[in-house]
Amino acid sequence: MINYYKMSDLGTLIAGISAIVIVALILGWIIASIPVYLAAKLFGSDASFLRAMGAVLLSGIVAVMIIIIFLFISAAYGSFLLIILGLVVAFIAVLGVYKSMLNVGWGAAFGIIIVSIIIGFIFNLILSLFGIGIFYLLGNSQLQSFIYPLFNLTNISQGFNPG
């Protein structure tokens, strides 16, 4: 006997998956905004967390649009250097978005990008210790196998055994 699914079951499945994707995107956006907000405060910005969220969203949209445009141009002319140029233009555009939305100068916008990358790296490192970071998702990578013993509390409480 063949069991066919009803369309309402398929619609419910699609709606459920869509809701999960939307929630994951919003949570990712909020989590990605935290390092930018902290870095902006470090560089003396008076921007709120909502402005940092707006800067992250707008910079992502602008960067993706610029990279897609340069990818199409690169495909039309067959030049790999246009992709590199697109990445440079997108980076400068992201600097401009951060400069204008976070009320800082060009140097501070560059510093915000660098410091937010470092803060995000540290967040992922801490989250990987609890099994929910990008380093944990990489599986048995060299970085994870190097970092995990450094923070393993059982080694500290039992003493290190070099043999």
Is the residue at 69 inside a domain?
Answer: yes
pLDDT of the residue at 137: 52
Is the residue at 20 inside a domain?
Answer: yes
Is the residue at 154 inside a domain?
Answer: no
Structural domain that includes position 18: 7-115
pLDDT of the residue at 17: 85
pLDDT of the residue at 100: 94
pLDDT of the residue at 50: 94
Is the residue at 126 inside a domain?
Answer: no
Is the residue at 133 inside a domain?
Answer: no
pTM to 2 decimals?
Answer: 0.70
Is the residue at 72 inside a domain?
Answer: yes
pLDDT of the residue at 14: 81
pLDDT of the residue at 7: 53
Q: Give the position of tokens 């940092």.
A: 52
Is the residue at 122 inside a domain?
Answer: no
pLDDT of the residue at 126: 81
**Mean pLDDT, consecutive 10-residue segments, the chain of 163 residues?**
59 82 87 90 91 94 94 90 93 94 93 90 80 57 50 49 48
pLDDT of the residue at 8: 62
Domains contained in the chain, number: 1
Is the residue at 162 inside a domain?
Answer: no
